[in-house]
């Protein structure tokens, strides 16, 4: 285990750049994961990280000791004083461990016949991460984000995703209208003014759900490219839902329908 005690250490300064700069993360093709939960989720799906970094206090925690013991002997591990660690930490409560990983890339090209979630201009990292988590839980593995969405691999989005990222094929900066024009399933947008209600809508074997920005909704070109628009019935007094909540409702309504169809066919 290598120990760094100076802020002027070149490797520590490199870690600081990864922590602070989205441009550096893109340039280097590397990310920081903060916390054992995210690191374990990454390892289960993607293999070993490039490096582990632990704080002095973290190095004494049983769960981190056990994790380090389970890693390959060649795994680079760097230990930092708590004061230096605090300058890198991505969460409010110090986790004591983080990992440097290669930026995950989709293993396959975009599939025009797969269940898909499309996000158009969703700018809050927490909302993007929550939608990714719901998508993974509902079995939707292909995700397309427009160029003006929050960065899928930013620290805040990763935190909100709770490890779901590593189960998904995430495509960023996509031309959503072009995808929708070529899509071979049923594309559905949520819109408060749509006459059709979600629960009365027929769903196809492959579905692309399209969700828009928190304030403006879907761009006109994206909305026009969808085959169907639906609203979520809300008998209460609220006039709208958070986009992450709306996405979860639609995705799990798809799950409910499909499970009901399977049960009905027995």
pLDDT single digits (tens) 89-121: 888 788 999 999 999 999 889 999 999 999 999
Do 212 and 122 form a contact (C-beta atoms < 8 A)?
A: yes
Q: What is the pLDDT of residue 237?
A: 73
- The sheet with strand 97-102 has its strands ordered as 2-3, 77-80, 51-55, 97-102, 30-34
Q: What is the pLDDT of residue 161?
A: 97
In angstroms, the CA 217 to CA 30 distance is 32
Task: Give buried/exposed letters for 67-81 (b at 16+ CB in 10 A, else e).
Answer: bbeeeeeeeeebbbe
Per-residue pLDDT reduced to its tens digit, 193-211? 899 999 999 999 999 999 9
Q: Nearest-CA neighbor of 118 among 215, 31, 185? A: 185
Q: At what angle do helices 125-138 and 243-264 cross, to 10 degrees?
A: 10
- Whether residue 51 is predicted with pLDDT greater than 70 in this model: the reply is yes
In angstroms, the CA 190 to CA 196 distance is 10
In order of 7, 255, 262, the CA distances from 265 in angstroms are 64, 15, 5
In angstroms, the CA 256 to CA 199 distance is 11
35 against 239, higher pLDDT: 35
Q: What percent of the chain has pLDDT over 70?
A: 98
76 against 241, higher pLDDT: 76
Q: Report the predicted TM-score, pTM, of the whole model to 2 decimal places.
A: 0.92
Do 84 and 12 form a contact (C-beta atoms < 8 A)?
A: yes
DSSP state of 217: B
In angstroms, the CA 43 to CA 105 distance is 15
Dihedral Cα 45, 29, 159, 162, nearest 10 deg? -10
162's tokens: 């709770």
Q: What percent of the chain has pLDDT over 90?
A: 83
- Separation of first and last alpha carbons in the chain: 57
DSSP state of 218: S
Do 118 and 226 form a contact (C-beta atoms < 8 A)?
A: no
Q: What is the pLDDT of residue 56?
A: 96
Q: What is the pLDDT of residue 235?
A: 86
CB atoms within 10 A of CB 112: 16
Q: What is the pLDDT of residue 241?
A: 87
Q: Which residues pair with 99 in a beta bridge?
A: 33, 52
Confidence of residue 263 (pLDDT cuts 50, 70, 90): low
Ramachandran angles phi, psi of 218, nearest 5°: -80, 145
DSSP state of 57: T
Average confidence (pLDDT) over 162-185: 97
- Whether residue 152 is predicted with pLDDT greater than 70 in this model: the reply is yes
């Amino acid at each position: 285990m290598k120990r760094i005690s100076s802020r002027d250490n070149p490797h520590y300064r490199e870690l600081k750049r990864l922590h602070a700069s989205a441009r550096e993360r893109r340039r280097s093709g590397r990310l920081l994961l903060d916390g054992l939960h995210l690191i374990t989720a990454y390892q289960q799906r993607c293999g070993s990280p490039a490096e582990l970094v632990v704080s002095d206090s973290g190095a004494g925690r049983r769960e981190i000791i056990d994790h380090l013991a389970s890693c390959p002997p060649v795994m680079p591990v760097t230990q930092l004083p708590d004061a230096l660690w605090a300058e890198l930490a991505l969460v409010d409560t110090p986790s004591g461990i983080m990992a440097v990983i290669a930026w995950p890339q989709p293993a396959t090209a975009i599939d025009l016949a797969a269940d898909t979630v499309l996000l158009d201009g969703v700018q809050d990292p927490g909302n993007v991460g929550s939608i990714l988590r719901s998508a993974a839980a509902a079995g939707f593995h292909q995700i397309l984000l427009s160029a003006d969405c929050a960065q899928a691999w930013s620290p805040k989005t990763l935190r909100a995703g709770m490890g779901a990222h590593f189960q998904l094929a995430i495509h960023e900066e996509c031309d959503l209208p072009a995808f929708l024009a070529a899509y071979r399933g049923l594309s559905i947008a949520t819109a408060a003014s749509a006459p059709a209600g979600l629960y009365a809508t027929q769903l196809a074997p492959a579905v692309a759900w399209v969700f828009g920005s928190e304030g403006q909704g879907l761009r006109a070109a994206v909305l026009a490219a969808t085959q169907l628009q639906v609203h979520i019935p809300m008998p209460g007094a609220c006039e709208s839902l958070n986009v992450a909540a709306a996405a979860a409702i639609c995705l799990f309504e798809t799950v409910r329908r499909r499970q009901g169809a399977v049960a009905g066919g027995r």
